[in-house]
Chains A and B, each alone.
Chain A
């Protein structure tokens, strides 16, 4: 089983819509989680950190379900600029190494 698994999508949504997707992780001891955003042909950049049950930052909400070992990301009122690949990231147990999911692609259309 992969350490981090994501639905690759793509999720194709109209502007203003809400889109949500999940990420499952295998290490039940993980305490922190991250969502990174990666634009086409660019480097990943941190979008949100999740240390407890969830986190909210403007239109973005991340929720953690420890019992089922998944993290979700919800984007409200989608903008064209939200089109990107969203990477779910879970720290490994040592040396501050990270496990990356393959990413969920979101395309927001006008």
Chain B
């Protein structure tokens, strides 16, 4: 039981490049979330999903897109990376009707 995994762990992009971050969970959780964490700030919600095929915007969605084609996977896309997107990205998941979220190990992204 791997829990929540994220791919890749590290990435360096140039401004304007695109990439996709993959989050996978094997706990059969309905809800999945993408956060970014920047120094001095709490985790901020980018997008989330309450089930397969559904997504919704969070607090800071601009510049990101997401997809949840399978219940166990939640993808975060950056179409045209900007230096302001340099951050640590965490994926989390939870069962419906609970508040406890389980986090992946994070992806450290640097945009030059």
A28 CB to closest chain B CB, in angstroms? 18
Asked if A44 and B90 sit within 8 Å, CB to CB, the answer is yes
Q: Is B77 an interface residue (CB 8 A)?
A: no
A80 CB to closest chain B CB, in angstroms? 23
In this complex, the interface size class of chain A, counting residues with CB under 8 Å from chain B, is 20 to 34
Contact of B100 among A4, A43, A46 (CB under 8 A): A46
In the complex, 8 of the A-B residue pairs with CB atoms within 8 angstroms, ordered by the A residue number, are A8-B40, A34-B99, A43-B104, A43-B105, A96-B98, A97-B58, A100-B43, A102-B41
Q: Is A59 an interface residue (CB 8 A)?
A: no
Q: Is B50 an interface residue (CB 8 A)?
A: yes
Q: Once the chains are docked, how many angstroms separate the CA of A85 from the CA of B70?
A: 33
B43 to A, closest residue via Cβ: A100
Given A95-B48, A95-B56, A43–B42 Cβ distance below 8 Å? no
